Amino acid sequence: MSNLFFKIVKLMTKKKLTVSFAESCTGGLLASSITSISGSSKVFNMGLVTYSNNAKVKLLKVPKKTITKYGAVSNETCLSMVKNLSKISKSNISISITGVAGPNGGTKEKPVGLVYIGLKKGSKIIIKKNLFKNKNRISIQKATVNQAHKMILNIL
């Protein structure tokens, strides 16, 4: 897995790109995966762990009505998170993550393992809905980080 992180840092350094993250259910694991690589200070700008709805509203300016209407774990909240992170950070690439890591908190509509990952690079925005089934909390978090890395690599 760390090979992937190394590749991202190397490619981004070469292209002089920066990245920022707004994480919820991964709790900083994505930021940690990048900062564990030597030389990441050239590419990593900021990481916000906006775990609570209040943090999403206060720090990322996600409209309260978006969370009330669609929920924290939704395409709409993920989109708002990534757009506003991009404005705040001024990074070339912004990533947002919101989901249900479990083992509790899942519903029929939003089961444990449902995770949205948003990526913004320039005017391009991708929101990917993932359903990591039959996994425990840390497995869901790691699978989410892996998926985010793949999304970054694909856009580089």
Bridging pattern class, strands 114-121 and 44-49: unpaired
Tens-digit pLDDT profile for residues 25-48: 999 999 999 999 999 999 999 999
Domain boundaries, the chain: 52-156
In the prediction, which pLDDT does 76 show?
98
139 contact partners, CB below 8 Å, separation of at least 6: 132
Given a cut of 70, is residue 129 above it in pLDDT? yes
Given a cut of 90, is residue 3 above it in pLDDT? no
Q: How many helices (H) and strands (E) does the chain have?
A: 6, 5
- pTM for this predicted structure: 0.97
Tens-digit pLDDT profile for residues 45-95: 999 999 999 999 999 999 999 999 999 999 999 999 999 999 999 999 999
CA–CA separation, 45 and 90 (whole Å): 9
What is the fold, at CATH topology level, of the domain defined by 52-156?
Maf protein (3.90.950)
Question: Two tokens at 42?
Answer: 């050239």
Per the omega criterion (within 30 degrees of 0), is the bond before 103 cis? Answer: yes
Given a cut of 60, is residue 1 above it in pLDDT? no
Tens-digit pLDDT profile for residues 7-25: 999 999 999 999 999 999 9
Given a cut of 90, is residue 138 above it in pLDDT? yes
